[in-house]
Structure 1
Amino acid sequence: MAKLLLNLRNVPDDEADEVRALMREQRVQIYETRPSNWGISAGGIWLSDDADYPRAKAAMDAYQAQRGAIARAQRQEELAAGTAETFGALLRRRPVFVLVTLIGMLLVASLVLLPFLLLRG
């Protein structure tokens, strides 16, 4: 039975390409499923043979650790250079969006808490 190696939801194209290349390097047979037309399934990269799973998983773990370290280093560089996306920068650039989002969050939280507050009395 096939095993899902990587769900492609919110995965950038460069990462998916690197995973495909990594699996070719490891000589692991994979196949892909496409995203559904209605967005229910995002597609995925699957292993053809379950016996390859331990080797593929070890390679993926090492790859993701390396990619995470690179992303964290890039974030630190952006923070040091002052070019990182921060809440303050977003508030200055799109104040209406931030305020509407915060009001929406407060509205949802109040609707969730309202029954508890009404039943308390």
Structure 2
Amino acid sequence: MEMLYQISVSVLVTLLLASLFLFLLFKVRQIRSRRDVQSAHFNSISRIWLGLLILAFGLNTIIQFHTAVSYIIGALFIILGAYNIWHFNAARKYFKGNLPIEEEAWEEFERKQRQSGK
């Protein structure tokens, strides 16, 4: 039983660190992007990773601390993280569908910039 506890805590901490890293990675990609739809797409992906981080934190709280307060707080974090994942996954799908439209508009804009520059 003790080994299962250690493995579950190790997996959750690894998930916490990985989701934090990926959240920061996609936030940097969002900030560095010059395109609006692409920036919103990266924002939605980063928020999905943030939701996973919150969810894993709630699970970790419930597993490590066995008090009524930690169960309530852990459940709130799990609900908040799951809602965050669900909501921003829908946003990600929406913006992913608009990426080709923005790509065409961006290419046309750059083509006009090159023609006016010559």
Q: Same fold (TM over 0.5)?
A: no
TM-score by length of 1: 0.34
More helix by share: 2
Structure number with bigger Rg: 1
More strand by share: 1
TM-score by length of 2: 0.35
RCO greater where, 1 or 2, for CA within 8 Å and sep 6 or more?
2
